[in-house]
Structure 1
């Protein structure tokens, strides 16, 4: 019998063997393969498919493929992106390659169709029929067992197999629908004898069933290990019960330990009830690790809080006074207020705990005062920095429903102190900010209100905390950013700028010893004269406090340490003369009073964040059209003061014999030097008015006079703030006479004589008085 040969386009498949009866799709991207597919589609849809021996070969030839493959019919082609085609085929007949007819532009092979043979056909007819039936039943049984364990096999294939009576078709159908590897499928494809192919298929199916059995056993073991935790819990509970029966209670559970701690805790009844309730919940959630951890943390936090634990009140006023004097020079108001608080506590045994707010420029010792107070009162000291805090939960705590919830800073501060009556410093309260997470200032209202803070509620703790015993000290650089309701609850004590004399004392008594110790030097190795300290305070620093001065002393200490180690000197003595060799050139030169009286130049006084300063205001009058020019980076308030001043001068022009058309024919230019520095504030009104009046009338202004105050349209002089710093600046500039608003007279009385000594302070209430005192009198003239 002659075998049928065919000439067909050929595609070499990577990692895939197609069997007769198999319907599946594969992707084609190689140009040769695409060309072969196209050629087959244009013909009779027939194509020869064979597997590559090595899937890594990119351009296979006849030697790179298996000789036995499958003739298939192309059913569908789908074009995909990136020049890829998805081809759907159905396998039909086995075939072997005779030769490769050509390899370009695609592979074309001459193949011979392999007919099925069966060695059992040689047996007798009756026996042959029994053998076929046995083989059919055996394959069905094995496939049923496989299908029961492998969910990938569809039910339709199972029902289709049950009705098949042809052994060859059954073998091909089972082989095509079991997910064998492509190597196993190639073995089945190359087997020509039906009986041998049947035996090979049965062997491979049984092998797959064994693999599935092993996989199932592994899954069962994994499940057993997952259930181990539950089993251990049951065993622990049994062990606990056995111990209780035997009376062996040496190993207490966590819940029992918590219960013992709760029973021993000194706390209000409400707290105890909450604790007992949570411990009960803890006992009932042992098998839920996530919930157990949350409850455990909450119980531990409640147990650590100092509910009724207090430190002993120290009421020795003499000791407190001694500590405050040791740690700080000056600051009389603060010291006096604290000693008053102690006196009240000593007499009444209780007394309201005040909430003090220390307000002043940076570096004036506000934070260190709080630390000294804690030492003087022998109280635990807790510092809470509020700078930049914008989340209300930072103060009140997070609610326990949130992941990672914790108490607020106030509750944590109490926990850290360990007592309910510590000294708690709320630092930088003016730098608290708000955002969408809540109003932090409003949260502080409850903390700092003596009427409310006895029942302060932290969102995390959920039970009231008594803050009435806490001595709260707050610090701020300015009161402008603190809301009025919060400010109303605090007793404000101003910590003002230090005088140069105070800076000298602070440097000698505190800063120099501190820096010597920090840099490993002794008092014999480095000495600094008073004149050198004076010059450092005046010409190397410009501040209200002493931070920069301390840094400059630190600079000298470092350079001294280097010189001593290099062996250049054994000891260093800093004087006014050699100061520049250690600190470099002078950084600040005070603008001293003018040597002579001039027209249109007046010395004003200003308050800055680093203390006081003098402000020279210059005015020129020139021909023009009545414009007022303002330069020197003035703010809106100063511009309004200038316009008010010119309006006042125009209103009294007839009295002072100023020509009626003067303001129509002249421009007035007001300038404040240092144009790069922004200036604003309501205290330069009379200064600008005096300078404009001097320039318009041509009368000179006394060079030894400085002034501060706001002006109204009718010439009244209004009060100002920051008087102490302004008087310090005037004294430093060599001013003899200072004009101050009449309403500021009480402020002057509170300023120490050290500052006012040598200054003639004149109180004024009307602009006429200012002009009379500031302008140089004309010869032979009489002031009305």
Structure 2
């Protein structure tokens, strides 16, 4: 064997070490490792095997790999269906890395042969005999190694090979095996191995003693169980056991074998004693039995093992959801903190957004990412506090609350628990359910949650609660204080197009029994579907329309009209009928007395046309369009401001005595409220009274004061998305909302011009044309 430096590809091993003369199979899956195997097979089928220091290291660097390893021969290579490679390797001799030549595509290293040092022959022979004796005793104690192994090992005459073969059969820590591998002196290696086996024997002896003590302590329980089984058999033969006694005994066994805490088990046993004394015909009998069954059904200690791996979590979120970058980033930050603290205690996430944007599916993805069970309860329309805390057992038909029912479904104490539609809870004479939710969501209190039915305290501190809501203003203040809001505004047209192509269409094709080749929807047809057949922040209606296309395609194919359906921009109307919505709400031309406002509703952002007409009269102000109190007050404030500034605005100072004014917001069947239409109403009023038209490409939002100041508003992101959908290119917004522009997606932001204003004069300067047109009512 030469002592010169040799060059081999390197295969880093995780949790495994190969000694010389050792033959075993390895499964290889990492890209660099696969490349190293392939390179070895192309050369002389020789590879260097070295163990990495940390098993969890997915992409080890040179500093993470032990320097001493084994040069091995690849005897066989087999590619498995799951993409991994199974190789059979045989260790040849020890080697030490002197230099990393390449570490980009695969590790290539220079190796120096680690020459072995021998002692006197008699001394090594004595150590070999001692090692074989120790190994024989270890086999007897451990019961993990076949006795035939000793006969095989005894035939080995070479000291170095004997030490390596014995070491390969022992259940040693990787560090101990590495220390053995690095010992070049054969005498020292044999002595070190003898010491290790001696220590392992002591540990095994101690294990046996502990096992014996446990066995003795269990004898009493086993004896009682045996006698009870005998008693049951005797009673059965004598016919003394009626149905109820047998039921009680069965429940007692379940309590005995359950994992519930001792104080809960004690409460269950007391109830069982009562159950046996109460007549079976009594209503109380079924109440007690139901209670015990609930105690048995609830998880008390069962839990899933958390698997918080940020890379995998990110992949899962990317697979399940397109867009929502900021929301996904915040979720990953949240999981990263949980991994560092090794605890799920922290802020309760509340996903806020319009219907159909993926709030519930996001919560499911979080559960999948951290390997937890998922359970969902809907809080929409819950008015009774007992729905949360449960009913007391004194009431007929009493049941635990929804929280305990959810825990029963989860079957573990640490699920991801989705509280859906938390903004839809209401209160009445039966109590305030949102107040009961405070204890559930408060990390300082929920380790002792009290359900009226269960009575015993239940620990909810291991549960990861996630809430969803459509409209943040409807969440009660104390409840809102306990959650961290994550806003999901909605999707842009480009995002909807990607979601439709990558998620919705493949899903509906499968659900409707179609192949990918049966139905093709072109991009321009999908865009028309998005623009003309849906008007929503989410994608729920979009999925329904795609499902309709799939059904119609299935009918065409089954009837034999066509073998394949291709939906184009022109043919989509033949399948779905005339467009349901006109794409864009932007006016076709500059209008006098008509301004476009931007609104924020529970269903996302929307555009709001506001029309003003004036005609001879006595100064009467009429408001129509089903406006709420706040919106009516905004109109009054705008009217008063214009009266105070009539001369500066070049309006007849006596207009309020000469003309009646009518402000109308179309779609009168839909209730509308909120202060952010203030500057839109004022602009439409000034436009009507001055004859200056409002620019068609301008949309605006902002609250107005009597002095003409423009105050900040909420929902700028949602309003901007609706403006972008409507074809509006310029948005007039309050100056104080400048910080919210960053939340708007870049694809939307780049197509909009934002004009930041602090006073109505600035709004009028940018919103109105200079030339006058014929007024709409003067």
**Category of TM-score, reference length = shorter chain:** 0.5 to 0.7
Task: Report what 1:27 is aligned to.
Answer: none
| Structure 2 residue corresponding to 1:666, chosen from 637, 659, 666 | 659
Q: Which residue of 1 aligns with 2:767?
A: 774
**Of 752, 758, 767, the match for 2:745:** 752
Matching residue of 2:413 = 420
Moved more, 394-403 or 374-383: 394-403
Helix, strand or coil at the partner of 1:401: coil
- Counterpart check, 1:456 vs 2:449: yes
Contact 1:354 1:472 in 2 (8 A): no
Identify the match of residue 507 of structure 1 among 471, 482, 500.
500
User: 2:445 & 2:721 partners in 1: Cα distance?
Assistant: 42
Structure 2 match to 1:304: 297
For residues 601-640 of structure 1, what are the structure 2 equivalents within 5 Å? 601-640=594-633
Q: 1:705 aligns to what?
A: 698
1:400 aligns with 2:393: yes
Q: What's 2:172 paired with?
A: none
SS of 1:625's equivalent in the other structure is coil
* Superposition pairs of residues 57-72 of structure 1, within 5 angstroms: none
Cα distance change on mapping 1:664 and 1:264 into 2, 3 Å: same
Q: Provide the C-alpha distance between the structure 1 equivalents of 2:283 and 2:636, rounded to a whole number of angstroms.
A: 70
C-alpha distance in 1, partners of 2:431/2:599? 37
| CA positional deviation for 1:277 | 2.4
2:379 corresponds to which residue? 386
Equivalent in the alignment of 1:723:
716
Q: More displaced, 579-588 or 341-350?
A: 341-350
Partner of 1:597: 590
Q: TM-score, normalised by structure 1?
A: 0.65
2:388/2:433 contact within 8 Å kept: yes
C-alpha contact (below 8 Å) 1:405/1:460 kept by paired residues: yes
Could you say which residue in structure 2 is the equivalent of 1:376? 369
Shift of 1:615: 2.6
| Separation (CA, whole Å) in 2 of partners of 1:301 and 1:671 | 58
For residues 276 and 613 of structure 1, do their structure 2 counterparts lie closer, same or farther at Cα, with a shift above 3 Å needed?
closer
Counterparts of residues 275-314 of structure 1 (less than 5 Å): 275-285=268-278, 290-314=283-307
Q: 1:623 to 1:465 in 2, by over 3 A?
A: same
Q: Which moved more, 1:569-578 or 1:292-301?
A: 292-301
Change (3 A) 1:450 1:553: same
Q: Distance in 2 between matches of 1:458 and 1:676?
A: 44
* Pair 1:763 & 2:763 matched: no
Cα gap change, 1:698 to 1:348, in 2 (>3 Å): same
CA distance in 1, matches of 2:278, 2:612: 82
Alpha-carbon distance, 1:716 to partner: 0.3
1:558 to 2:525 alignment? no
Q: Using the alignment, how far apart are the partners of 1:480 and 1:326 within structure 2?
A: 32
Relative to structure 2, which stretch is displaced further, 493-502 or 628-637? Answer: 628-637
Specify the alignment match of 2:530 in structure 1. 537
Secondary structure of 2:731's aligned partner: strand
SS at match of 1:599: coil
Q: Secondary structure at the match of 1:776?
A: strand
Classify 1:677/1:418 alpha carbon distance in 2 versus 1 (closer, same or farther; 3 Å).
closer
Structure 2 unpaired stretches of 5+ = 1-227, 773-778
**Is the 8 Å Cα contact of residues 584 and 727 (structure 2) preserved in structure 1?**
no
Match of 2:339 among 346, 357, 361: 346
* Matched position secondary structure for 2:417: strand
| Mapping for residues 489-500 of structure 1, pairs under 5 Å | 489-500=482-493
Between the aligned partners of 2:652 and 2:252, the Cα distance in structure 1 is: 95
Distance 1:629 1:564, change over 3 A: same
Within 2, Cα distance between the matches of 1:435 and 1:593?
44
- What SS class does the counterpart of residue 302 from structure 2 fall into? coil
Whether 2:327 is the aligned partner of 1:334: answer yes
Q: Show the counterpart of 1:641.
A: 634
Gaps of 5+ in 1: 1-236, 780-784
The Cα shift of 1:287 comes to 7.1
CA distance in 1, matches of 2:481, 2:300: 28
Q: Distance in 1 between matches of 2:519 and 2:333?
A: 40
Given the two structures, how large is their TM-score scaled by the length of structure 2? Answer: 0.65
> Which of structures 1 and 2 has the bigger CA Rg?
1
Work out the CA distance in 2 between the residues paired with 1:505 and 1:291. 59
Partner residue of 1:363? Answer: 356
Counterpart of 1:653 (choices 646, 650, 666) is 646
| Deviations 1:410-433 (CA, angstroms, capped at 9, x unpaired) | 112212222110111122222233
The alignment partner of 2:473 has SS state of coil
State how far apart, in whole Å, the 1-side matches of 2:631 and 2:233 are: 87
Partners of 2:303 and 2:688 in 1: how far apart?
70
CA spacing shift, 1:735–1:301, aligned 2, 3 Å:
closer
- Cα deviation for residue 580 of structure 1 reads 0.3
Give the SS at the match of 2:377: strand
In structure 2, relative to structure 1, the CA distance for the partners of 1:776 and 1:391 (3 Å cut) is closer
Please tell me whether the aligned partners of residues 625 and 666 of structure 1 are also in contact (alpha carbons under 8 angstroms). Answer: yes
